[in-house]
């Protein structure tokens, strides 16, 4: 009896509040978090706090140095705290700092970089600096910069040119300020997306005489490098970090295993138990998605074109079907094939009312979204990244992020995964910078297996994991070096 009364009181309390305000702030908080395009990490900086462009402001850090251009140097303390939090989740970079601080493998390196500027990349930059490199940095995305982190870096003496919400013109201006400096010439490039490399090719091709190598981490940038190489225009060695084993496994398999549920929950609050889901494609991403959904009690179907992946799906306990066999009964459709037109209008027409459709693959070509923009269908924007598409008979499907990559549009990427990528980048820079003349020609290389294994080994202490060492006899029997590499280069 008592409990009921208490509960009734609370309920009344709640109703007394002006309900309009409550509701409005709730909807705002939802859309805010899912509209952040790259880093959904809380950013203290709002672009509206000061309308002057950072390019028109003269700022100096506490040491009187003004060779940077950011939003507001006063936010440095906030940024420093965020970087300290990120350091906790990036153990390998911190270990690398400890191990190599004495020998300074990057002494004399002048690195010009163009990446997302977030607390995680700040840990990478400070690691490069601790290993002896001088750095100048710009942002590779006009939205993803965390202003307070940029401030902390500028306060720490880095030449950073970046702020959140740059214009296209600002973007190239920042890159130019990094590269075009009197009395300072870069000898290493760290790029994400290939824009920095492109700019130097276009504007300062002579710089490549001094540059020892390029390290590139994104699919797009690597593609651009292979194109240059094919055309015979690549004049320095380049390291493709994107396709190293550790990054592939972590970014694709383990990261998607965590972020698929996160993206779906944030956008639709769907319950997974007992839901019927079809996952198109059973590569690394598909395997991650299926594992997560199965663990939540969903009934999972898989479509696949490759008999090997198909057999793996069957052995993992999933029903292998063609899309049109299950399209009428499933509650969720997830594409992760890297192909185009996997889900077409004919499939969308046959889906049941309320079916959720989303893409985890790399590009937005997998779901034929253009075919839904016809006069007889009504589009309703429910909230940021969530659309209802309504058929004339009242049937509706829920389309997420307009068919773009779900986990980058609607959720975050774990710092630990970024730690793997960043460590790989640091090691690739060290490798290219210290390589003897002639080891690398003017071509695009994959990271040596030995380096890949080293990145993995730096992450093991986090889990208190203990590696077994081969005895001399065992190593001889396997024909291996005791310290690795343990697998051939083609091992995935």
Element holding 382 (H helix, E strand): strand 378-383
Strands in 394-487 per DSSP E: 396-400, 444-446
List, in sequence order, the alpha helices (H) in 47-145.
76-88, 91-100, 119-130
Distance of alpha carbon 276 from alpha carbon 299, whole angstroms = 5
Q: If pLDDT is split at 50, 70 and 90, which confidence band does 412 have? A: low
- State yes or no: pLDDT of 16 exceeds 60: no
- State yes or no: pLDDT of 393 exceeds 50: yes
**Window from 42-46, 123-127, 366-370, 449-453 with minimum mean pLDDT:** 42-46
Tens of pLDDT, residue by residue over 232-244, are: 999 999 999 988 8
- Mean residue pLDDT of the chain comes to 87
Q: Is 217 annotated as a binding residue?
A: yes
- State yes or no: pLDDT of 43 exceeds 90: no
Q: If pLDDT is split at 50, 70 and 90, which confidence band does 318 have? A: very high
Give 476's contacts (C-beta < 8 A, 6+ positions apart).
Answer: none
Residues 134-162 have a mean pLDDT of 93
pLDDT for res 9: 45
**Encoding tokens for residue 124?**
């990478």
Q: Is the bond into 62 cis (omega within 30 degrees of 0)?
A: no
- Report the greatest alpha carbon distance in the chain: 84
Q: If pLDDT is split at 50, 70 and 90, which confidence band does 124 have? A: very high
Q: If pLDDT is split at 50, 70 and 90, which confidence band does 47 have? A: very low
**Encoding tokens for residue 279?**
């996952």
Q: Is 283 annotated as a binding residue?
A: yes
- State yes or no: pLDDT of 375 exceeds 70: yes
Q: If pLDDT is split at 50, 70 and 90, which confidence band does 12 have? A: very low
CB-CB contact of 420 with 455 (8 Å): yes
Q: Is 206 annotated as a binding residue?
A: no
Is the pLDDT higher at 411 or at 235?
Answer: 235
Structural domains in the chain plus CATH codes: 56-243+414-447 (3.40.50.1480), 253-410 (3.40.50.720)
Q: Is 284 annotated as a binding residue?
A: yes
Tens of pLDDT, residue by residue over 54-106, are: 888 889 888 888 899 999 999 999 999 999 999 999 999 999 998 887 899 99
Distance of alpha carbon 330 from alpha carbon 487, whole angstroms = 41
- State yes or no: pLDDT of 223 exceeds 50: yes
Q: Is 432 helix (H, G, I), strand (E, B) or coil?
A: helix
pLDDT for res 50: 58
Residues 212-238 have a mean pLDDT of 92
Q: Is 346 annotated as a binding residue?
A: no
Q: If pLDDT is split at 50, 70 and 90, which confidence band does 48 have? A: very low
Is the pLDDT higher at 14 or at 368?
Answer: 368
Pairing of strands 276-280, 299-303: parallel
Distance of alpha carbon 262 from alpha carbon 474, whole angstroms = 44
Q: Supply angle C-alpha 62, 63, 65, rounded to 5.
A: 105
Between 147-155 and 76-88, two packed helices, what is the crossing angle to 10 degrees? 100
Q: Is 89 annotated as a binding residue?
A: no
Q: Is 449 annotated as a binding residue?
A: no
Q: Is 118 annotated as a binding residue?
A: yes
Distance of alpha carbon 221 from alpha carbon 392, whole angstroms = 44
Q: Is 287 annotated as a binding residue?
A: yes
Q: Is 251 annotated as a binding residue?
A: yes
CB-CB contact of 442 with 402 (8 Å): no
- For residue 79, give the nearest of 90, 69, 70 by alpha carbon: 70
- State yes or no: pLDDT of 29 exceeds 70: no
Q: In this structure, what DSSP letter does residue 253 have?
A: I
Tens of pLDDT, residue by residue over 279-316, are: 999 998 999 999 999 999 999 999 999 999 999 999 99
Is the pLDDT higher at 363 or at 378?
Answer: 378
CB-CB contact of 285 with 360 (8 Å): yes
- State yes or no: pLDDT of 27 exceeds 80: no
Residues 124-148 have a mean pLDDT of 93
- The residue written with tokens 């990490």 in the block is 41
Residue 251 φ/ψ, nearest 5 degrees: -65, -35
Residue 255 φ/ψ, nearest 5 degrees: -70, -45
pLDDT for res 416: 83
Distance of alpha carbon 492 from alpha carbon 308, whole angstroms = 15
Evaluate if pTM is beyond 0.85. no
Q: Strand pairing partners for 184?
A: 181
Q: Is 69 helix (H, G, I), strand (E, B) or coil?
A: strand
């Amino acid at each position: 009896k008592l409990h009921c009364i208490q509960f009734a009181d609370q309920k009344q309390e709640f109703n007394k509040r002006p309900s309009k305000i409550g509701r409005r702030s709730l909807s705002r908080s939802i859309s805010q978090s899912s509209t952040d395009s790259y880093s959904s990490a809380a950013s203290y900086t709002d672009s509206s706090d000061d309308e002057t462009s950072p390019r028109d402001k003269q700022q100096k850090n506490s040491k009187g140095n003004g060779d940077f251009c950011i939003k507001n140097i006063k936010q440095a303390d906030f940024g420093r705290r965020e970087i300290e939090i990120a350091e906790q989740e990036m153990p390998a970079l911190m270990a690398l700092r400890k191990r190599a601080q004495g020998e300074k493998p990057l002494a004399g390196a002048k690195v010009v970089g163009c990446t997302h500027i977030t607390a995680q990349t700040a840990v990478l930059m400070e690691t490069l600096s601790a290993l002896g490199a001088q750095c100048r940095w710009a942002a590779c995305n006009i939205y993803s910069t965390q202003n307070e982190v940029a401030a902390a870096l500028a306060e720490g003496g880095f030449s950073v040119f970046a702020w959140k919400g740059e214009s296209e013109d600002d973007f190239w201006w920042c890159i130019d300020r990094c590269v075009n400096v009197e009395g300072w010439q870069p000898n290493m490039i760290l790029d994400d997306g290939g824009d920095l490399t492109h700019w130097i090719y276009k504007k300062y091709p002579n710089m490549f005489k001094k540059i020892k190598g390029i390290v590139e981490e994104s699919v797009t940038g690597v593609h651009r490098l292979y194109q240059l190489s094919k055309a015979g225009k690549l004049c320095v060695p380049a390291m493709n970090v994107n396709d190293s084993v550790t990054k592939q496994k972590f970014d694709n398999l383990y990261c998607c295993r965590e972020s698929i549920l996160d993206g779906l929950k944030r956008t639709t609050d769907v319950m997974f138990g007992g839901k019927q889901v079809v996952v198109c494609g059973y590569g690394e991403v598909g395997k991650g998605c299926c594992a997560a959904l199965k663990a939540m009690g969903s009934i999972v179907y898989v479509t696949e074109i490759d008999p090997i992946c198909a057999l793996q799906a069957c052995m993992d306990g999933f029903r292998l079907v063609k899309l049109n066999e299950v399209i009428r009964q499933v509650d969720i459709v997830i594409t992760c094939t890297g192909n185009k037109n996997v889900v077409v209008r004919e499939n969308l027409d046959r889906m049941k009312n309320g079916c959720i459709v989303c893409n985890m693959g790399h590009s937005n070509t997998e779901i034929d979204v253009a075919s839904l923009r016809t006069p007889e269908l009504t589009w309703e924007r429910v909230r940021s990244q969530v659309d209802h598409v309504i058929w004339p008979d009242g049937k509706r499907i829920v389309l997420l992020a307009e068919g773009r990559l779900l986990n980058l549009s609607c959720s975050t990427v774990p710092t630990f995964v970024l730690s793997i990528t960043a460590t790989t980048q640091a090691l690739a820079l060290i490798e290219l910078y210290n390589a003897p003349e002639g080891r690398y020609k003017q071509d695009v290389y994959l990271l040596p297996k030995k380096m890949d294994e080293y990145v993995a080994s730096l992450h093991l202490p986090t889990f208190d994991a203990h590696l077994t060492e081969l005895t001399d006899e065992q190593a001889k029997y396997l024909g291996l070096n005791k310290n690795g590499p343990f697998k051939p280069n083609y091992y995935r």
